[in-house]
Structure 1
Amino acid sequence: MGTAILYGVSSIFILFIISSFVFATLLRFTSITESSLTYIIMAGSFITMFIGGFISGGKGKKQGWVLGGSTGLVYMVIVMSYQYLGNDSLFSLREWIYQGCFVVTAMMGGVLGVNLSSGSRNA
Structure 2
Amino acid sequence: MHKQQFTALLYGWIAVLGLILVTSIVLSLLLQFTTMDQTVLSWVTLAAGLIILFIGGVIAGMKGKEKGWVIGAVTGLGFTLFTFLVQFLGYQQTFSAEQSLTHTGFILAAVVGGVIGVNMVKGETT
Settle same-fold status: TM greater than 0.5.
yes
Identity %, equivalent residues: 37
Aligned counterpart for 2:65 among listed residues 61, 70, 88: 61
TM-score, normalised to structure 2, is: 0.91
Instruction: After superposition, give the CA deviation of every residue in 1:59-114 in whole Å (9 maximum; x if it has no partner).
Output: 00000000000100111111111110001100011111111111111000000000
Q: C-alpha distance in 2, partners of 1:120/1:56?
A: 16
Q: CA deviation at 1:120?
A: 4.2
Structure 2 residue 99 is the aligned partner of structure 1 residue 95:
yes
Aligned counterpart for 1:108 among listed residues 105, 112, 116: 112
Uncovered stretches (5+) of structure 1, i.e. residues with no partner:
none
Partner of 2:77: 73
Uncovered stretches (5+) of structure 2, i.e. residues with no partner:
none
After superposition, the CA RMSD in angstroms is 1.0
5 Å matches for 1:1-123? 1-120=5-124
Amino acid at match of 1:81: L
TM-score, normalised to structure 1, is: 0.94
Q: C-alpha distance in 1, partners of 2:34/2:105?
A: 31
Structure 1 runs of 4+ aligned residues shifted over 6 Å read: none
